[in-house]
A = this chain, B = another copy of it.
Amino acid sequence: MTTTVDNENRLSETFAALANPTRRAILAHLARDEATVNELAAPFELTLPAISKHIKALERAGLVTRGHLAQYRPCALDASPLAEVATWAEQYRPVWEARFDRMDDYLGRLRSQRVTEGHDD
């Protein structure tokens, strides 16, 4: 059975894996197509061991799976943890929408004030 603690730990692992621009770029590449480690390394000024380390971090977080072809072992994206990230973030939508509404109101008031004062340029 999956406990709340397991869920919380998995979410922490996912967020930690996503806290790096190279790892996010690897996921963007894999969203288009499977790729070998060599193909994934090509756009980056990084050594193969450095890229392999990033891929291992993504594998541990369940975001990347590896094929079983002995020589190439292509990497593929598993986006399920990202569905959990989206669900987690979406629970805060009412908070950020309320804030954006307040900013709109404030800017609206500033604008009408400028019109009233004849600064409408």
Contact = CB atoms under 8 A, between A and B. Distances in A.
Contact of A79 (B18, B21, B79, B92): B92
A19 interface: yes
B21 A19 contact: no
Interface of A: 8-9, 11-13, 15-16, 18-21, 24, 27, 31, 77-80, 82-83, 85-86, 88-90, 92-93, 95-96, 99-100
Number of copies: 2
A98 B100 CA distance: 32
Contacts of A21: 8-9, 11-12
A85 B89 contact: yes
A15 B58 CA distance: 14
